[in-house]
A = this chain, B = another copy of it.
């Protein structure tokens, strides 16, 4: 186990858009954390009602040593607010303060704050710099790498957005101490994901440290965050614009997005939907003969131990499977209505594939009971 007293660094190598991720404790208030950012006269901290009272003061006080003006905008909390109306609060603040195109945006919060702040940064004056300060496990392992930003549309999740890279990501593990247990579990879903798609040894490690992770052991969390970022960086580095390989990161997400859309955004946490979606995608892989029953059981047990749901919700009493299929057909990854599933093969491999509706229906039926 690594010593976390010293922050650890993961480098995301994207040519002239490269940036570092720092993983450690008490980073928010450390003066050195933000010392390397480009010079600017103003910073805007974007956060939400839940996170602001916990961590905004520390961050703002730290940034005041570096920027003449530090403004803040506090958004309502929740996936339901990942909308244009909320995004516009960021633009309103930027323009009310006459922020210029060198202004640095800081996203302090979970994935929703990060996605919206990133899209605001991508779009304000056609692009200003931004920094991710993720305060949830999910956002530390998932939003830190990949440059995906955006908002939801009433007809689909993350349908409007941009690929846009931050200048810096700061994963302060100290902020995880206030995270509700349900959100910790949701974050573990994305940690677990990396095992079956790309890293068998990491899956072994997670299995033997799942109790330490659930108890928020700092060393275990540090390793889980760092390793997840490294694996994601390796995948994304080969496919920045999501044309091929990168799509394997969506393991569990096709079914998961259907769950989120079908239940109404916010009913289940994204990570919970992904956890259950991984069970469904693994079951589909099993039905196609790509994995062994024992491996499927292993994943199922681990997802359950992480406190995640493993039984899928019924979305429509009359024709539940049809509802799932309809919802999956409008997913971004679908092409001309053809659903592309991330399927796992053996241990630590994944591919994109199609499946007969009849087989998918059977998997949905099995997963909902």
In the complex formed, the residue of B with least CB distance to A101 is B332
Known: A102-B335, A330-B98. A124 touches B159 (CB 8 A): yes
Of A87-95, A199-207, A213-221, A347-355, which stretch is located at the interface?
A87-95
Judge whether A54 is part of the interface by a CB distance below 8 angstroms.
Answer: no
For the complex, what is the distance from the CA of A335 to the CA of B88, rounded to whole Å?
Answer: 22
Measured between beta carbons, the chain B residues less than 8 angstroms from A41 are 336
Asked whether any CB of chain B lies closer than 8 Å to the CB of A127, the reply is: yes
| Inter-subunit contact B336/A100 (CB<8 Å) | yes
Closest to A103 in B: B336
A126, B96: Cβ atoms under 8 Å? no
A92 cross-chain contacts in B, Cβ below 8 A = 153, 155
User: Which residues between 135 and 157 of chain A lie within 8 Å of chain B, taking CB atoms?
Assistant: 148-150, 153, 155-156
Asked if B159 and A98 make an inter-chain contact with CB atoms under 8 angstroms apart, the answer reads no
Considering the complex, give the chain B residue whose CB is closest to the CB of A127: B163
Which of B96, B100, B159, B330 lies in contact with A91, CB distance below 8 A?
B159
Once the chains are docked, how many angstroms separate the CA of A162 from the CA of B149? 13
A 99-124 contacts with B by CB, 8 A = 100-102, 122-124
**Residue among A100, A102, A126, A162 with most chain B CB within 10 A:** A126
Q: What range describes how many residues of A lie at the interface?
A: 35 or more
A61 within 8 A of B: no
Q: Interface digits, A27-68 against B, CB 8 Å rule (1 contact, 0 not)? A: 000000000000001100000000000000000000000000
Q: Which of A317-345 contact B (CB under 8 A)?
A: 329-330, 332, 334-337
CB contact under 8 A between A95 and B336, given known A125-B159, A160-B124, A161-B123: no
- Are A126 and B161 touching (Cβ within 8 A)? yes
List, in ascending order, chain B residues with CB within 8 A of A148's CB.
Answer: 126
Render A162-189 as a binary contact track against B, CB cut-off 8 A, 1 for contact: 1100000000000000000000000000
Determine the chain B residues whose CB is within 8 A of the CB of A100 once the complex forms.
Answer: 332, 334-337
Q: Are the CB atoms of B160 and A123 closer together than 8 Å?
A: yes
Per-residue B-contact encoding for A275-297, CB less than 8 Å = 1, 0 else = 00000000000000000000000
Q: How far is the CA of A347 from the CA of B167 in the complex (A)?
A: 41
Contact assessment for B122 and A162 in the assembled complex, using a CB-CB cutoff below 8 Å: yes
Check A95 against B125 for contact (C-beta < 8 Å): no
Residues of B contacting A102 in the complex (Cβ-Cβ under 8 angstroms): 335-336
Q: Could you name 22 residue pairs across A and B whose Cβ atoms are closer than 8 Å?
A: A42-B336, A88-B153, A91-B159, A91-B160, A92-B153, A92-B155, A95-B155, A98-B330, A98-B334, A100-B336, A102-B335, A123-B123, A123-B150, A123-B160, A123-B161, A123-B162, A124-B159, A125-B159, A125-B332, A126-B149, A126-B162, A127-B162
